[in-house]
Amino acid sequence: MKFVDEFRQPELIQKTADEIRRLVDPSRHYRFMEVCGGHTHAIYRFGLKDLLPANIELIHGPGCPVCVLPMGRIDDGLAMAREPDVIFTAFGDMMRVPGAQGSPLEHKARGADVRIVYSPADALKLAQNNPGKHIMFFAIGFETTAPSTAVTLLRARAQAIRNFSVFCNHVTIIPAIRAILDSPDMRLDAFIGPGHVSTVIGCRPYEWIARHEQKPIVVSGFEPLDMLESVVMLLRQLRDGRAEVENQYKRVVPWEGNRAALKAIGEVFELRPYFEWRGLGFISQSALRLRDSFADWDAERRFQSPGVRVTDPKAAQCGEVLKGVLKPAQCKLFGNECTPERPVGALMVSSEGSCAAYYNYQHRKEQLVSVGSGV
Amino acid sequence: MCLAIPGKVVELLPEYENLGVVEVGGVRRKIDLGLLADDPAAPGDWVLIHVGFAMSKISEESAAEQMRMLAMLGENEAAMQEIEGYGMAEREPPGGLEPS
């Protein structure tokens, strides 16, 4: 309970943890998946596992967009960066993600024009300021970032800015949850639903999980108390034999989501028939691509992307970790060849990747303990 | 990219489509407010920002809580770096918007 003292409302946290203890059935094992990478990060940072009974297992879900992107997509994007007069733009999170031919940062070192942008709108602005260049934006993210890419594309079209294109890697969360539920080696009791994705999509899209899969799901905030409250809500549902969508994060997430954002997504994007996810394989209708009316701004059509398929480095077990079959530390490379400083797999790059989160908090803590006990 | 950064709307900029000035931790940047069309933002409102776009309106209390969360997760520096990096403030209108 290392971090309890620095939490806000420590008494309430203790009370909620006690409530969890009262609610658990000691004779059963609970497997809850937190879908969102932000939750994974928070769980490790706050040491939440220490507050939960041992028979509640938290499984880390696929909600880290950098982590689920197959390596070949990075190589595809970087192939475009090598075209003449192209400026490759991406969020900072992408820069150190390794492709088979190196990361964007390594391409920059080799002379490609690779730049960090913090917003797709800034990539478009770069296009306006550099009429002699073509600016390609490597778009990534779930429904939290897809609306911003959509609005940027609507603006590019409205202003007829033609030296700009988007390499679209936006993915959607619901089909990934469905694929996990369909996976035979994955047995889950309930879900902690993503917080910020839900500000866009709302709570309604999760209803099938409750109705058809009979799994409770609680959309949760990110504070320790939020997540503990969400666990209480899930345990109550399981105790009462209910399977419902509940919203613990009402102060931020409206039930209906953000209609303007959903409208922008619908105007610009359509579902791909299928898309490959690292660890989960091909999932039908799980990603977005640009509609035909935006073909001129679609980097995949402009550059005829090579469609590289690259298998992960053999020894790395990113896929198994992503599916929750292996814990980060069970991967052969974890902490040795693969560290946040020198990542082999994407789960070690992003702070929301379960390997980086585990390494930065749990692993270091354990090392401190073992060093301490040796003295 | 996955950071939701809380900020306070300081003013609307009618000369730019959907842009408004938002203040985060003393830094002012232009943010796109267009996705709040269901419930438009006004000066004084608090918003959650993703990659330069306000995605939802929140209470002042939730904003303070989110900022604290970012600090506890060790993401506050990354958040400020992101805010400072937004280039939508590159070209200021006459009169300027000096960072406070």
DSSP E strands: which ranges in chain A?
30-36, 56-63, 86-90, 113-116, 134-141, 164-170, 190-193, 217-219, 245-247, 269-271, 274-277, 281-284, 288-290
* Domain boundaries of chain B, sorted by first residue: 5-77
Give the three-class secondary structure for A313: coil
Average pLDDT, chain A: 90
* B51 closest CB neighbour out of A41, A64, A148: A148
The pLDDT tens digits of the residues spanning A184-203 come to: 777 899 999 999 999 999 99
User: Which residue is closest to B46 within chain A, CA to CA?
Assistant: A252
Q: For chain A, list the domains and their CATH numbers.
A: 4-63+174-247 (3.40.50.11750), 67-171+287-302 (3.40.50.11740), 318-367 (no CATH)
DSSP letter, residue A311: P
**pLDDT, tens digit, for every residue of A82-108?**
999 999 999 998 998 988 889 999 999
Instruction: Kindly indicate the confidence band of residue A281, based on its pLDDT and cuts at 50, 70 and 90.
Output: confident
How many Å apart are CA A293 and CA A289, to the nearest integer?
A: 11
Cβ contacts of A222 on chain B, cutoff 8 Å: 69
What are the E-state strand segments in A178-248?
190-193, 217-219, 245-247
Q: Does CATH number 2.30.30.140 belong to domain B5-77?
A: yes
Q: Using the predicted structure, report yes or no on whether residue A269 has a pLDDT greater than 70.
A: yes
> Torsion-angle region of residue A354: left (phi > 0), alpha (psi -120 to 50) or beta?
alpha
Residue A137, pLDDT above cutoff 80: yes
pLDDT higher for A283 or B72?
A283
Q: Which residue has the tokens 């937190």?
A: A34
- Whole-number pLDDT of residue A104: 95
State the pLDDT at residue A2: 43
Least confident among A62-66, A200-204, A229-233: A62-66
- Give yes or no for A22 touching B (CB within 8 A): no
Whether B92 shows a pLDDT value over 50: the answer reads no
Lowest mean pLDDT among A242-246, A339-343, A349-353, A354-358: A349-353
Instruction: Give yes or no for residue B90 having a pLDDT over 90.
Output: no
Cβ–Cβ below 8 Å for A125 and B55? no
Distance to chain A for B94, nearest Cα, Å: 19
Distance CA A226, CA A246 (A): 13
Quick one: pLDDT at residue A327? Answer: 87
Tell me the sheet residues that pair with A32: A58, A190
Determine the Cα–Cα distance for residues B53 and B64; give it in Å rounded to an integer. 19
- Is the Cβ pair B35, A261 closer than 8 Å? yes
Among A95, A97, A148, the strongest candidate for a mutation testing the B interface, having the largest count of B CBs within 10 A, is A148
What residues in chain B have their Cβ under 8 A from chain A's Cβ atoms?
Answer: 1-2, 4, 17, 32, 34-38, 48, 50-53, 55-56, 58-59, 62, 65, 68-69, 72-75, 78, 81-83, 85-88, 90
CB pairs under 8 A between A and B: 122
Nearest CA in chain B to A264: B35
What whole-number percentage of chain A has pLDDT above 70? 95
